[in-house]
Amino acid sequence: MNVQNNANLKTATEVSPDWWRGGVIYQIYPRSFQDSTGDGIGDLKGIAQRLPYIASLGVDAIWISPFFKSPMKDFGYDVSDYRAIDPMFGTMDDFGALLEQAHALGLKVMIDLVLSHTSDQHPWFSESRANRDNPRSDWYVWADAKPDGTPPNNWLSIFGGSAWQWDSRRQQYYLHNFLTSQPDLNFHCTDVQDALLDVARFWLDMGVDGFRLDTINFYFHDSQLRDNPALPMDQRNASIAPQVNPYNHQDHLYSKSQPENIAFLERLRALTDEYEGRACLGEVGDAQRGLEIMGEYTSGDKRMHTCYAFEFLEKRALTAAYAKQVFDQLEDKAGDAWPCWAFSNHDVQRHASRWGLNDAAMRQYAVLMMCLRGSACLYQGEELGLPEADVPFEDLQDPYGIEFWPEFKGRDGCRTPMVWTAQDEQSGFSTGKPWLPVSSAQAERAVDQSERDTQSMLHHYRRAIALRHAHPALMSGAQVDMAQQGSVLTFLREDATEQVYCAFNLGTDAAEITLPKGNWRVIGEDLGSVHAAETVVLDAAQFCLLTREKR
């Protein structure tokens, strides 16, 4: 495919030090992006091979999910060596070459740091569990059993069951918010913080442009190990864990999101600020207080640059009423927060299927993402309009899905291999048998097919991203006057020189709205933006974008 001449390609000199503010970040799940060796697992050389394609989208950065050395019980989110690359993904030289090529194409590179926990095969944990008086004995969260032998408190694991695992070596329980093979680090120990900051410095020195920080609000636990209270039925929200998981039955007041976390985030930001143009993107996992925590973690200029919560990753439909509710809450709880939005990622069902979107709605949501205040994350294949893949039980790899099957099928359906060429046996992902089956339904939207059709979803995403970059007000301007008019969401984006009026019909029926008065001109016509003099009827999934100079 010829992407080298695409007008959206940027050179490194064109990238602002504040690229993250309003930037578009493309998430790569390395196991499933491109295999260069034929072993059925994607790798760093495969990513490098596809960098020109990514750059052709016009995005500002890539975020690569973990590629560190790992036993792969949770597919890289269980790290056994923070300073080594797992051989299945390649070598440090491969990463260096990828970094150099990305920078030459004007792409920033963010890597996924998993700091809240390690693998149980990490040398730190091997030493910590050996006995109670070794130098790393307090590097993990250890606690004695209750007198009856049961766990220290009622905390639950996101992956099911108690968050405590008995260890016969120390005759104590250790905390794991995820798999039993993912013990939580003890951030109350300063040596742990220092060691993790050294890890961050290692990769910053390598030349990475920032970090996506996994489960950023899980770093600290309540030092008193108080029980979490029960959560009333009407407040249970399955955005973080599936409805069938009893994790939703608790208000996680003490197992995460502790106030001590702020000081560590400020240490991490101070380290990052020693390097020009670097950024920290945090993942906030909290179904009840996600926006509030996001605001706390991005407040001022000493904490995280940006964070994302799960409001737009839920199964709940993104209606005009819900979008306004989210932004009203954000304004109320964290007016100066700089959010980052995602509709899909490696942990949730793809939004095309999750929200039951047709092609027109998918196109509208792509434009909406590019118009909302905040940064944006796109998940690999989202630009093709990929639906969720159907992975049969016998092919499942995700322990989460295996545990809660069939009511919850896990995360494999959004992690199947990227589809590059429709006619190839494995859609161009690999010459061998892939670790997850390639979806035939997704193959119909493969990159080679999409490139040929100028009206495809792929080209639509390119135009939408280009629109965002063409209007600084959409990149980093303020967002004001958000309103719900029936099924239509309207708002204004503005900076010192420009105003952009946005109206999106997120409903299923046509709706008439009155347009603002003044000397406006329509933009985004190539994306489907419609316009009329005073009023406009927006059909389902239609939108109107107008701009004018600010006086």
Q: Report whether 90 contacts 84 (CB < 8 A).
A: no
Residue 239: name the closest of 316, 139, 129 by CA: 316
Which of 5, 103, 59 has the alpha carbon at shortest distance from 451? 5
56 with 3: CB under 8 angstroms?
yes
Task: Give me the half-sphere count of Cα atoms (radius 13 Å) on the Cβ side of residue 75.
Answer: 20
The CA–CA distances, whole Å, from 35 to 29, 39, 50, 470 equal 12, 7, 11, 34
User: How far is the C-alpha of 416 from the C-alpha of 444, rounded, in Å?
Assistant: 14
Asked if 251 is an active-site residue, the reply is no
Q: How far apart are CA 363 and CA 351, in angstroms?
A: 12
Catalytic position from the list 274, 276, 336, 549: 274
Q: Are 189 and 279 in contact (CB under 8 A)?
A: no
In the chain, the amino acid numbered 314 is E
149: CB partners within 8 A, 6+ apart: none
Q: Single out the residue of 543, 25, 15, 545 nearest to residue 283, CA to CA.
A: 25
Q: For residues 220 and 260, is the Cβ–Cβ distance under 8 A?
A: yes
- Catalytic: 274? yes
d(CA 162, CA 177): 9
Start-to-end Cα distance in the chain:
45
Catalytic residue, candidates 60, 94, 112, 214:
214
Residues 6+ apart with CB under 8 A from 297: 216, 217, 261, 262, 265, 282, 284, 303, 304, 307
**Type of residue at 299:** S
Written as one letter, the residue type at 94 is D
Q: What is the 3-state secondary structure (H, E, C) of 342-384?
A: ECCCCCCCCHHHHCCCCHHHHHHHHHHHHHCCCEEEEECCHHH
By annotation, the residues acting in catalysis are: 214, 274
